[in-house]
Structure 1
Amino acid sequence: MWFEFLKQAHRDKDIEVDYEFYADWGNFWDKSFSDWWAGATWRTLFAVDTAVRVLDESEGIQNDDTAIVVRLSLSKDIKETLRDVQQLLEQHGAGTKLNTVAQGKFKLSEGYEKAFLKYMDRANFMLRLYRIWLDNADYDKRGRVKQTAVQFYEWAKQRDDMIRAKNYKLTRPMFPFAVRTYAEAILAGDDITDSNEQRQFMRYLKKARNLANNAARGEFPGKY
């Protein structure tokens, strides 16, 4: 979601992306998420190193609040070595929970698991809405909103009908009642300007743009 909202923020002329902050992400706007993620960038950007391993010769010797570097003699009895290691770990306060230690270079904002993570269907819905809205940048403000609502309606209805008709084990798209009602009114030629349905639609779109704005400045999901 972070990657996808940032990618859309790059397309939004009204959002200023902090490209210096995202220098290590490379040309994210030109790649699919799968290609970008597969390039091993996640290891340096997001991974938290908690493994027990033999250091590579290229890695510098560095002690910090999350790890210590030790030398283990291979000529010493294993049980004695393990006792020594245990003593060292105790002395350095080992056993800290993962969520309290340093994160990777990039990390999700605090509390993401309490709200954002629980409503991923809503995040996907808002991302889709935002993409369509950006695709309709050539329309005036009112026309852009209407086109976005109708095009989302057509996509969501077609996908939902297909999943149900073929009994696919796929996640059905989130399709809020207000958005459905608003789009159907537009298609019917009804004037529902300033209606509750339109206002709810605009709130969803605003939240999507807030997420993109947050991503653009290096925070995700943040407050939206």
Structure 2
Amino acid sequence: MLKILLYGSARERKILEEALQKPLEENKISFSFRYLSNPQELMENYLYNRYYRLIVACLDGCTAYVIKGNGSKHDYYIAKGTMSFPPTSEEINEKLMRNPELAGFYSSGEYTVAHRGLTRKIPYEEIDYIHSDDKKTIMYLTNGDKEIISKNIGKVNDEINRRYFAKCCIGVIVNTRNIHKIHRSEKNSRVIEFKSGAKVLMTEGYFEKFAEAYSMSVSRLADLKALDD
């Protein structure tokens, strides 16, 4: 569960809570809020307390945020910055929801691969894309590894959670949560680039259907602006 500390006046905390609650729920993040208005208590008891991984505060008319490390890293503050007040859904998604340090709080699910009596569970966030290879399917992972699945891609497509995956061309399904950017390559194609640096080609004929699936996956039509870059 993601423990979040909201700092500010009662009115400011209510505004921050209302802005954060919807994207947290849409991304299926289990969370709880704690409220604080005493600056001395914030500095003495909470700013350096790793129990609250995310602090969101109203300061000087802006929304300030701090994302803390999980205790296994040398850097105490992983990310910090400001947003407008109240923060827009675009700011929350870009600066908080898509921050990799909060990925562990996503309950996105996993895919189970069985091979010679052994099973391996692969979290969705570790999958970049899935590619058809005749009667088998190859799963390309964010760390550069591949997983060969003894099923055709149609079967795999039925088994994955389509909230996180979308078809971009014949025989290729991509993880929309791991997309970094999409840009035009040639007249009849576009390139999907993942956060890991991997790339796949999307044919223009699939663009409209992909855009619809992508917008449903990320829960915000505003993200579609990336498709036109």
TM over 0.5: no
- TM-score normalised according to structure 1 size: 0.23
Determine which structure has the larger strand proportion and give its number. Answer: 2
User: Greater relative contact order: 1 or 2 (C-alpha under 8 angstroms, separation 6 or more)?
Assistant: 1
- Structure whose alpha-carbon radius of gyration is higher: 1
